[in-house]
Structure 1
Amino acid sequence: MAGIEAEEQLKELGSTLSGIEQVLDLDAMRSEIAELREQSADPDLWSDQERAQKVTRRLSYLEAELGRVEGLRKQLDDVSTLYEMAAEMDDEETRTEADEELETLRKAVQQLEVRTLMSGEYDSREALVTINAQAGGIDAADWAQQLQRMYLRWAERHGYPTEVYETSYAEEAGIKSTTFTVKAPYAYGTLRGEHGTHRLVRISPFDNQNRRQTSFAGVDVVPVVEQSDHVDIDESELRIDVYRSSGPGGQGVNTTDSAVRITHIPTGIVVSCQNERSQLQNKATAMGVLQAKLLERKRQEEAEKISSLRGESTTSWGTQIRNYVLQPYQMVKDQRTGVEVGNPSAVLDGDIDEFVEAEIRWMRQQEHQDA
């Protein structure tokens, strides 16, 4: 890369990084870290397990985020120094190394810039993800399970804790539905673009004639509710069923009727939880899931009302958003952003950052157009 071109790129990256540092407010971040460290050192903190976990998760996130920004600033200085050395020594090998480091830095700054685009009311929340098998029979159930694994692997890659609240297994293979949380700050803002229908095309492993099968699964992403949220739920409008949890093949994982299913009659929303042994704990968790879904429904209704007053037509992102083709060729393509990759295996193993980042940019663009 020519010296002047590299110098311009370094200058541009430095300017972008300065803008990111300003948006993230590093001084405020350092102050919050100091306060959280003080709280975490309090031996009484763990008397309230939920609060303690929230404090430690937030502290871990902020320390990682601050370290990431400071690391990029140092990396920017190091790459600049590398180019200076290459010029002084007129060394092509050092220049090539500097070019490679610059490209790595550029990608890392772009990824961090995406984080600054998440400024929605609930974007900083943890995410509650529900996956349902749709059209396609046994293949759709198998597809829903593959999607569950994809998101759990994505979270694992990033070091985000997850908790599976409920999984309803299909009779032959796969799952009918599942609900889980991704317990990381900005998980909702990061994953909300995944909301919609995901389409799989492949040779069905369940068809003895080896025919090509198209199957569908729906992904629903909502923010986890917090104490400040207010959602009125009339107990008389709920139907609460208890049942015995079961795993694949009907294998009992509980010997008591501890699993809980709650139906909100006015909206038809059904939520379940079976991950705890206590019926009371499962009911409390299920109520939290119901509150999250009702809060998101309320938010969507308010947005639609505002749009109708403006005379706008609202378009839902919850339509078919992505195609995964395994046969006759290999390709995963997002319908909205146009992002396309030729390695479905990597995507299904959780490598979805390219899609997620493009979605965040696309959604921000849509929101600016609607504003």
Structure 2
Amino acid sequence: MYVTLEHYVTAIVCLITAFVIQRIYYKEKVKNQSSISINGIKWFGLAIFLWGFGALINIILVELVEIKPTHKAVIYLGVFISLANSLSILLSLPSIEHQKERNIVVRLVQRFSEKEFTILFSGVLLMIAFVFIATSYNNSGISNNFIWLIDIPISLIVAFALLNELNKAFANRNMKFMVFPCFILFVLIVIAVTHRMIPQDKALEFIDQGFWSLFGVITGLSFKFLFILLFSILLYSWKFLSEKELQQTELEMLTKEKEELLSRQEKLVLANESHLDTISSLQKRLKESDLKISSLVESTKIELSDRQKEVLGNLGVCGTIKSYTEIAEEMNISLDGFQTHIYQIKKVLKISGAGGKEQLIAFAKANQLLKYASIQNVDND
């Protein structure tokens, strides 16, 4: 009686809850929320649906088809539903958002895609299940509780991973008071698993059958309802956190955009100053060019004597490799006379200061005065 009541309550509550959760999933999916977060809603909803679906199938088999609850087919179905439920919960764990390090179970799930992990999980458990089922069929003396040994280790691992992730998620949301309900959920799961594992005939040696059945029903319903409650709180806090994070993200984007605009403004100011410096430099160079042009124009108006042209021509031909003394000797004039010509030419060309010789050579070459040179066959480096 108690077991049947548990199945009816589980089927009604879990199927309705699963329907509501799936509606929330599709609604959030339309909003283009984070795929990881909405996948968590999908897998949590599927886990709750499997509880309701398993309870409904059990009701059909036991109440309508009139198969005994202790029949191996009913037990196998219960184990299969429980394993599928564990798989759904495992796939939902990576979506529980927090900033702390993931536990080893979640890290293992994250190493694979959902499809790959499902295939791996199913393949390993099918091999184990085959051994258990074959053993139970070949040995009629083995209790049906032996079949639940397939599910018990998985259920305990999932319960521990779920407890760990829920505690971290609620702590991240400043909801540390939820640690106690999470721990109670873990304890209830352990009790429910232990209740399945202990053969009923062994338990009845110590306690009343009615109490044993009622204890199992209360434990089974309690951990399912607490699971749904914690998930609902987690979903609400996720929704609230998402909206808060959305506002925070928008604020960060606006702040970042403001910083970029200020940076661009600074760059434009620097670029403008650089352009002003460039313009000033170009204007300065333009003035220098104008002065040089004016100087060259003036130089074209300068009239030099034939002797001065000869001096400049000889200077342009060999001035870079010969001294004034050597050039004067080649021209058969005295050094004083040669320097007098140089002095007069500098005065006419308005050349003064250091580098006068180089300026005279450059002037001679620029104004084609090398043709007046009287010194021939001299290599000009």
TM-score by length of 1: 0.26
Structure with max Cα Rg: 2
Which structure ranks higher in relative contact order (CA pairs < 8 Å, sequence separation ≥ 6)? 1
Higher fraction of strand: 1
